[in-house]
Structure 1
Amino acid sequence: MPALLALHARLRGSHALLLDEFGEMTYAAAYHDAVALGAALAHLGVKRGDRVAIMLPNRREFVVSWFGVATIGAVEVPVSPNNSAERLAHILNHSQCRVLVLQASDLDQLVAVAHALSHLEHIVVLDGLPEPIPAGFPFELHEWAPGVVDERPVAVSEVELPAVAMWDQAVVMYTSGSTGPAKGAMISHGHHYMSAYQAIVSAGITADDIIYVATPLHHNMAQAYGVMPALVSGATVHLATRFNRESFWADINTSGATILPFVGAMLVLLAKSPETAGDADNTLRVGFGVPIPAGIKRPFEERFGLQLMHCYGSTEASIVAWNTDENDTSNAVGRIFDGYHVRIVDGNDLPVAVGEIGEICVRADEPYAMFSGYLNDPAKTAESTRNLWFHTGDRGWLDDEDRLWFSDRIGDVIRHKGENISAYEIEQLFVNHPAVSLAAAYGVPSDLGDEEIAIAIITRPGHDLSAAELFGWCNTAVPRYMRPRYIDLVEELPLTTTGKVEKYKLRQRGISSTAFDARRPPGTTS
């Protein structure tokens, strides 16, 4: 990463690396500020291989801080500003970070967990230091100021940078924790480069492109498939503070963005917005991401005039399958990217037949093209990479055209009346209802010894829909074996910081007293 940034700063320093609400940041300016910030961090005692936490929203200082950490051979630990206190303490302690970068408005979150932190020493604060400093605050506070050491400006020419190789760690990316405590996936510089290379080859990204990043920078989709493709190709990133359906297309056209890394929920929200005559009049040419909900791809492409690429991957494995075929109208996630291999296995790790569903396992030809294990967790590392394949925890199959299809998470299968039913497939059916915004299907204990199907629904604003009406709609739209017994209309769903539904919390919560029960129609009593 530091070598790529230095190369572009030297060869095309006036070209914009970053566009945001404050204007542009050139490659030369980004390199200068990154090296200068690295010098300031080194003065705090940060050494090669040390981990530095960055807890910032989408803003240019996140990128400068990330690159600054990399310039001195240290390791970035991205942290969501929206973390719960428990998760924040877990990540900071587990990663053993001594330095944390955050903005002043988030200091209260740190104060709340300060007593539980065992390694943190220094806090680098954006937007000014607090006055007064909270009583009993146990950490040293420093103002975010690239190139300022002991209140003395340091010239970039004074900074001696260590060599950084592809096998060196770049980031510890904590998983969403949707099924338990977050694990820290160790991502090397080589892994980050390969992720960018996949996007560049698949989407045809060049230095003339502008990549629109609206997913959170603490997430791998934004870093590895938004910022890194720009850093490798010399392209530009337009950094949005967040995804906003109302202003999205205006922002796209104002920025001239041509490439969109997305998560599936973004497409659903855009697809359900009111149609206008100028929907196709935008600058985007390619969007790629996971997943593209069934039935959305072709209508979305025709309406908005761009190509959508379905993909499959994970933080640990990178995106190993890309569907770049414009004429493929199926929901296959694509063919395997050169240099990677996918095997579908049964419960004993033996390969299954073509078309048969099993666990998706991945490995790469080249070293450092995938994650380097889980930080401080050799048992989980060994378990996930047993028999020399990374076990994704996802189920899918390969068809006779060597295309990969995603089925569901192994932990996201509902066992109902002897059938293994994909929660994902149920959810895709429900989001096709015009009044449904988001849906989360999950299993709850059944009197029959397996599970009943339950689904939590968030309706779209302005739609007056009852659970009983939705159940009636199921009679024609949802296969009988997939129809939920319980429908719960909710205001919000428990989400991880990366926007995934925490199904285990729904299971723990069980069925609310207000949920619709198909076996107990409204107005009846038990």
Structure 2
Amino acid sequence: MKTENSKPWSMGHQDTVNAVLRRAAEKHGERTFLDFLGDEYSFTEVNRRACRLAHGLSALGVAKGDTVVTVLDNSADAVFIWLAINKLGAVSVPVNTALKGEFLRHQVGDAGATVIIAEHDYAERVAAIAERLPEFRTLVYRGPQPAINGLRQDLLPWATLLSDNTSEPDVEIKPSDLAMLIYTGGTTGPSKGCMISHNYVCTMAHQMVRLTGRTEEAITWTPLPLFHFNAIGSTVLCNLIVGARVALYTRFSVSNFWPEIERTEATDVALLAAMFPMLAKAPDNDAMKCCHGQLFAAWGAPFPPDIQAIWKERFGLKYTVAGGFGLSECSLLTLLPFGTEAKPGSSGLRNEWFDVRIVDENDLELPPNTPGEIIVRPRMPHIMFEGYWRRPDDTLKVMKNLWFHTGDIGKFDEDDYFYFVDRKKDYLRRRGENISSFEVENAFRAHEAIEDVAAHAVLDPMGEDELKVTIVLKAGAQLSEESLCNWSIDQLPYYAVPRYIELRSDFPRSPVGRILKYELRDQGVTPMTWDREKSGIVLKKR
């Protein structure tokens, strides 16, 4: 199934989030669009609530081009506020709810928002770093009033945003205008904000229509967090485009999965990584049996072929797809059009949106079936990131020879099927979360007993990265792995707390003294490695 690699530049389909929502409300009216734990909202009501919140934000001084940080759990309000921010031409900055301390301060401070909107308990985390956020002026909390004292900034309840004005804000929005900042995992330094235009996120949603074959009859269920680009573009906006329903859930639960599928009458699900094998191997329950054959498809990656086979046989699915490859900076570089047969191990085909090449260290293109770095350029305007927020030098660094260099290794075969090979960048991905080794190492270096640290990946039996930190203690220091792990729980987001810890006298190093992380990765779990999952320590996802 050979596709042409060189196609002419074109305008493509230029769109905005605001236009997508208006068209959907006009066409589908009072049909249900959003279901959250049984509360249902029509297309018209979603648009109306977004308008009310937009006017509420405007009253706080939010205007076109301003960033607004949100630290919110999945909820209907999280959808409404994202759409409201975009209605004003402002820039939505959804922050991972697991962030705390310096991790949170870096992203919130880098975004430069004057208004921050957070769940009441996350608001306390924001207040704790407020003195180090010079541009921060107003904190809006959702839920009960948080226990915050001495905050110099304004502290306001969510109800403050609920204007009675339901008219469309009179703001001109272009496809090239920024819709959001999505922060990277910070692979070689502090995490960076990818500037996402309206047209980019809309293009990604159109790509997902191509990949999933969704129609207005679909009911897509997902527990994926709305601070991820995946849930925003691939599910919510995708279904707005086709007029389909979205059922959002708080956070993934094996025991509640099938009861939710039964309750919502879902036709397809959008999941990630370890969710697939966990459900495939879970015990039977009545809801699962009742729903046999109800789900038409499951989408997500990675989705290994053997686990796909279990889903089809055990749950009666027709389609199980992991048909694409992309990054926050550019998605989707490859995709498998709905109904196209995948080759084992592949992640989609070339598409009309992007020119993707595999090159050597000199940027010379490599022949089929030869691994090399993945580089990309768009074939249409505003379909990939507009650069890194406030970081022009970092943007230029990845644009060598005017091609975006992904830092990842892949290959195409002779039929243009794509295969991901490895990560060139020094980062990890665990259960859908990008983890910055740079930030993890900085957190551990703050411990008074640690001389040096290396955070790196080791492969677990499910085929995912697990985080290991290898540590050299200061001379004379005494410290157990378990006490160090317990210390890190208060310093790191739950997903960045390492599973494995190993204490050593030194690291493998290069002739100039640099730690050779590839050797640590190759050594993996050694007889001297401590394993958190065998220790009985349980992490809470807060």
In the superposition, the TM-score normalised over structure 2's length comes to 0.76
Structure 2 residue 167 is matched with structure 1 residue 166? no
Q: Which residue is 1:393 aligned to?
A: 407
Between the aligned partners of 1:45 and 1:90, the Cα distance in structure 2 is 23
C-alpha distance 92-181 of structure 1, shift in aligned 2 (>3 A): same
Deviation at 1:352?
1.2
Residue 71 (structure 1) aligns with: 87
Q: Which has the higher contact order (CA 8 A, sep 6+)?
A: 2
Give 1:204 shift. 0.8
**Other-structure match for 2:197:** 188
| Correspondent of 1:319 among 332, 353, 356 | 332
Q: Which moved more, 1:389-398 or 1:191-200?
A: 389-398
Provide the residue aligned with 2:18 in structure 1.
2
| C-alpha distance after superposition, 1:201-230 (max 9, x if no partner) | 111111121121211110111111111101
The answer to whether 1:288 aligns with 2:299 is yes
Q: Secondary structure at the match of 1:367?
A: coil
- 1:155 aligned to 158, 165, 168, which one? 165
The Cα RMSD (Å) is 3.4
Aligned to 1:451: none
2:132 is aligned with what amino acid? A
Alignment of 1:129-144 (within 5 A): 129-130=145-146, 134-144=148-158
* Inter-CA distance 279–385: structure 2 relative to 1 (3 Å threshold): farther
Following the alignment from structure 2 to structure 1, what is the Cα–Cα distance between the partners of residues 290 and 489?
30
List per-residue Cα deviations over 1:296-324 (Å, max 9, x = no partner).
23333332222122221111111222235
CA drift of 1:256 comes to 1.5
Q: Which amino acid aligns with 1:370?
A: M
What secondary structure does 2:299 align onto? strand
1:431 lines up with 2:462 in the alignment = yes
Q: Counterparts of 1:378 and 1:506 in 2: how far apart (Å)?
A: 38
Identify the residue that residue 57 of structure 1 maps to in structure 2. Answer: 73
Matches of 2:85 and 2:370, distance apart in 1: 45
Q: Residues 384-405 of structure 1, C-alpha deviation per residue, up to 9 Å, x if partnerless? A: 2222322222111111111000
1:97 paired to 2:122: no
Q: Which runs of 5+ in 1 are unaligned?
A: 415-422, 433-437, 446-455, 457-488, 520-526
How far apart in 1 are the matches of 2:462 and 2:44? Answer: 45
Q: How far apart are residue 441 of structure 1 and its match?
A: 7.3
8 Å Cα contact 1:179/1:502 also seen in 2? no
Q: Measured at CA, do residues 18 and 507 of structure 1 come closer, stay the same or move farther in structure 2, by a change above 3 Å?
A: farther
User: What is the alpha-carbon distance in structure 2 between the residues aligned to residue 364 and residue 313 of structure 1?
Assistant: 13
Partner residue of 2:517?
A: none
Q: How many residues align?
A: 452
Q: Which residue of 2 aligns with 1:221?
A: 230
Shift of 1:499: 5.4
Q: What SS is found at the alignment partner of 1:252?
A: helix
Change (3 A) 1:255 1:274: same
1:231 aligns with one of 228, 234, 240: 240
Q: Distance in 2 between matches of 1:268 and 1:329?
A: 20
> CA separation in 2, counterparts of 1:52 and 1:366?
28
Of 395, 415, 419, the match for 1:405: 419
Q: Deviations over 1:325-373 (max 9, x none)?
A: 5643501111122222211111121111211111112222110111111
Q: Percent identity?
A: 29
Equivalent position of 1:359 in the other structure: 373
Which residue matches 1:211? 220
Deviation at 1:154, TM superposition (A): 3.4
1:173 to partner: Cα distance: 0.5
Shift in Å, 1:190: 0.2
How many Å separate the matches in 1 of 2:469 and 2:123? 39
How far off its partner does 1:3 sit?
A: 1.9
Deviation string for 1:428-481 (max 9, x for gaps)? 6x238xxxxx66277979xxxxxxxxxx9xxxxxxxxxxxxxxxxxxxxxxxxx
Q: Deviation of residue 43 (structure 1)?
A: 1.0
Check the 8 A contact 1:494/1:501 in 2, yes or no: no
Residue 298 (structure 1) aligned with residue 302 (structure 2):
no
The amino acid of 2:51's aligned partner reads V
**Compared with structure 1, are the counterparts of its residues 265 and 376 closer, same or farther at alpha carbon in structure 2 (3 Å cutoff)?**
same
Contact kept? 1:187, 1:370, Cα under 8 Å: yes
Distance change >3 Å, CA 497–CA 308, structure 1 → 2: farther
1:278 Cα deviation after fit: 2.8
CA contact (8 A) 2:274 2:462 kept: no
Deviation larger for 34-43 or 296-305 = 296-305
Q: Secondary structure at the match of 1:347?
A: coil
Write out aligned runs for 1:16-27 (5 A): 16-27=32-43
- Contact 2:34/2:245 (8 A) holds in 1: yes
User: Which amino acid in structure 2 is aligned with residue 346 of structure 1?
Assistant: D
Q: Name the SS for the 1:247 alignment partner.
A: helix
Describe the shift of the 1:495–1:5 C-alpha distance in structure 2 as closer, same or farther (beyond 3 A). Answer: farther
For residues 346 and 326 of structure 2, the distance between their equivalents in structure 1, rounded to whole angstroms, comes to 13
Between 249-258 and 292-301, the greater mean CA deviation after superposition: 292-301
Q: Output one character per residue of 1:267-317: Cα deviation in whole Å (capped at 9) or x when no partner.
A: 121122235783870432122222223632333333222212222111111
* 1:194 to 1:335, Cα distance in 2 relative to 1, 3 A: same
* Cα 1:441–1:107 shift into 2, 3 Å: closer
Give, in angstroms, the shift of residue 233 of structure 1: 1.5
Correspondence for 2:396 among 382, 386, 394: 382
Greater Cα offset, 107-116 or 48-57: 107-116
CA distance in 2, matches of 1:113, 1:383: 31
Measure, in 1, the Cα distance between the counterparts of 2:496 and 2:292.
31
In the alignment, what sits opposite 2:278?
269
Retained in 2: the 8 A contact 1:147–1:154?
no
Amino acid at match of 1:203: T
1: CA distance between counterparts of 2:87 and 2:391? 27
**What CA deviation, in whole Å up to 9, does each residue of 1:142-176 have, x standing for no partner?**
2213764xxxx53324x642121110100000112
Question: For the Cα contact (< 8 Å) 2:349–2:417, is it kept in 1?
Answer: yes
Distance 1:64 1:87, change over 3 A: same
Q: What is aligned with 2:98? A: 82
Equivalent position of 2:360 in the other structure: 346
Q: Residues 229 and 498 from structure 1, CA distance in 2 versus in 1: closer, same or farther, beyond 3 angstroms? A: farther
Which AA in structure 1 matches 2:159? A
With 15-24 and 277-286 compared, the bigger mean Cα shift is at: 277-286
The answer for the alignment partner of 1:121 in structure 2 is 137
110 and 442 in structure 1: CA distance in 2 versus 1, 3 angstrom threshold: closer
Q: Is the 8 A contact 2:140 2:157 kept in 1?
A: yes
Instruction: Report which stretch shifted further, 101-110 or 496-505.
Output: 496-505
Cα distance in structure 2, aligned partners of 1:93 and 1:16: 38
Q: Report the secondary structure of 1:296's partner residue.
A: helix
CA deviations 1:47-94 (Å, max 9, x no partner) are: 101000111000111111101101111010001221021111111111
Report the equivalent of 2:466. Answer: 440
Contact 2:469–2:502 under 8 Å retained in 1: no
- Say which of 383, 401, 405 aligns to 1:369: 383
Q: Distance in 2 between matches of 1:392 and 1:293?
A: 23
User: Contact 1:178/1:501 (CA < 8 Å) preserved in 2?
Assistant: no
Is the Cα–Cα contact under 8 Å of residues 75 and 250 in structure 2 kept in the other structure? yes
User: Match of 1:257?
Assistant: 266
